Amino acid sequence: MSSNVSGRDFDDFYRATARRVVGYVYALTGDQGEAQDVTQEAYIRAWRHWSRIGDFEHAESWVRLVAARLATDRWRRLRRRQSIEAAERPPEPVAPPSEDTVLLARALKTLPVHQRQAVCLHYLLDLPVGDIARELGVPAGTVKSWLSRGRAALAEYLGRSPSPTLRKEGNGVR
Amino acid sequence: MSADLDQLFTKVRADADHVPLAAPSRLREAGDRRARRNRLAAVTVVAAAVVLGTVGVGAAVIRQGPPPAPSGSSGPSPFAPSPSSAGPSSGGVGGLGTVPPSSPPSSPPARAAGAACRAGDLKVESITSGGASGSTGYTVTVTNRSATMCKLAGAPALKWIKPNGSPATIPTTSQGRSDPVALQPGKRAEFIIVITNGFGGYDPSSPACANPVTYRRISAVVGGSLTLTGLVLDVRCDGVRVTTWTTVAG
């Protein structure tokens, strides 16, 4: 696994995909620090199994799956709680998210996890329904239903809390 | 999707671009370190099993989780890890490492029901590791092998033996409810030791990583010393957190 060749492959893969993955996790969690942690952990795991994943056609999909599960599993919840309670972790110097991002993250959090994943994969990463169905292991019809419901729920939420962008441009979410 | 929502997702993409990510070489180093640690832990457990087996006290089993996908798989789902077993310290995605502890040779004498549990009342059933994204948790499960109910209160203190042979207390912070747990005979209870996995997303030069230490020969203090055989805590950043006792169903 640690050969220079596979290391270069992994580095190329990471550079090509990490921004998409961190955007996905960010949309799922609404938390920059968590998006950073989860994304890096997912790629560490990918490297540990790189001899097999590296040949895989959809390695990015593998990383996204791991990241999505990390974002919701019990250890992460435990760690989040500890971080909040102990306030041990110095915050990274990161630019704060825009008001629109905060608003959309809040709206996404109102969706069930799978619906949220489907919406983010489709609208953030531009994945077609068939790819999402394969990634989430459900029929395409289910994905379409999730997207439809998710869209409606987001529109309703955002209609109640219009974003600065939408206010400025004088249009609502339809 | 309306153009308005598209605009909002565009903002998310732009903000995500500001999330700092480590260089790929750093992630590879972290993964390699973890792999070395797991190999060492596996060797330690096997060696302990051999020793225990020769004296007839016990046997050891290393249970590994499912491996990642075979190459050439058509999709990620068949080898994706389960959320409940995604353990970075367990040797692989979805893996679980179980360290079988040694068992005391005989039952302790009966005591009044409701007293605080003593180490002799308890048998360590398993120490399993699991975790994700920066944290590793070691779940220590014990059984009340005495004939009476006893109580476990708070989070147990942890001790270790330093390389020079002297015992010392591991600095810990506790988490969870402080109500005592009543443990009936034959029933199980557990607590969890949580540490940061590797650098856990920290910059290695940050103050939180200034005092790395590897704790070995660890025991829990429960009215005496309860040996946690095979447990090694490699703490690079942050401290050690211990949850309070909780009962295990079944």
In this prediction the ipTM stands at: 0.77
**A22–B93 CB contact, under 8 Å:** no
- Do the Cβ atoms of A158 and A103 come closer than 8 Å? yes
- Give the chain A residue nearest B26 (alpha carbons): A44
- Give the chain A residue nearest B69 (alpha carbons): A52
Encode pLDDT of B157-171 as tens digits.
999 988 888 889 999
Comparing B74 with A160, the larger pLDDT belongs to: A160
Encode pLDDT of B18-43 as tens digits.
888 889 998 998 888 888 877 777 66
Domain ranges of chain A: 1-95, 96-174
Contacts of B193 in chain A (CB under 8 A): none
Q: Please report, rounded to a whole number, the percentage of residues in chain A having pLDDT higher than 70.
A: 73
Q: Considering Cα of B162, then B164, then B166, then B168, what sign does the dihedral take?
A: negative
Give yes or no for residue B90 having a pLDDT over 50.
no
- Tell me, what's the pLDDT at A9? 85
The predicted model scores a pTM of 0.49
Number of Cα atoms under 13 Å in the Cβ half of residue B144: 27
- Do the Cβ atoms of B117 and B160 come closer than 8 Å? no
- Work out the mean pLDDT of chain B and round it to a whole number: 72
**B12–A65 CB contact, under 8 Å:** no
- Tell me, what's the pLDDT at B167? 87
Residue B181: count other Cβ atoms within 10 Å of its Cβ.
19
Kindly indicate the confidence band of residue B197, based on its pLDDT and cuts at 50, 70 and 90: confident
The CATH class of the A96-174 domain is mainly alpha
- Do the Cβ atoms of B84 and A74 come closer than 8 Å? yes
Distances (CA, A) of A72 to A16, A76, B2, B81: 25, 7, 28, 13
**B4–A158 CB contact, under 8 Å:** yes
Rounded CA separation A172/B2 (Å): 9
**Mean per-residue pLDDT, B114-135:** 83
**Mean per-residue pLDDT, B170-197:** 88
Interface probe with A: pick from B1, B15, B18, B237, most Cβ of A within 10 Å: B15
Give yes or no for residue B120 having a pLDDT over 80.
yes
Grouping H, G, I as helix, E, B as strand and the rest as coil, residue A1 is coil
Q: B199 CB contacts (<8 Å, ≥6 apart)?
A: B30, B209, B236, B237
Number of Cα atoms under 13 Å in the Cβ half of residue B213: 15
CATH number for region A1-95: 1.10.1740
Grouping H, G, I as helix, E, B as strand and the rest as coil, residue A34 is helix
Paired strand residues for B116: B151
The two beta strands, B115-116 and B150-152, are: parallel
Grouping H, G, I as helix, E, B as strand and the rest as coil, residue B113 is coil
CA dihedral B114, B115, B117, B122 (to 10 degrees): -60
Paired strand residues for B167: B161
The two beta strands, B172-175 and B240-243, are: parallel
Q: Helix A4-29 crosses helix A32-48 at what angle (to 10 degrees)?
A: 150
Rounded CA separation A77/B195 (Å): 14
Residue-by-residue pLDDT tens, chain A, 174 positions: 445 667 788 999 999 999 999 999 999 988 888 888 889 989 998 998 888 776 666 789 889 988 988 887 655 555 554 544 444 444 455 567 778 888 888 899 899 988 999 999 999 999 999 999 988 888 999 999 999 999 999 988 888 765 555 444 443 333
Give yes or no for residue B107 having a pLDDT over 90.
no
- Do the Cβ atoms of A23 and B12 come closer than 8 Å? yes
**A88–B208 CB contact, under 8 Å:** yes
Kindly indicate the confidence band of residue B221, based on its pLDDT and cuts at 50, 70 and 90: very high
Give yes or no for residue B105 having a pLDDT over 70.
no
- Give the chain B residue nearest A99 (alpha carbons): B11
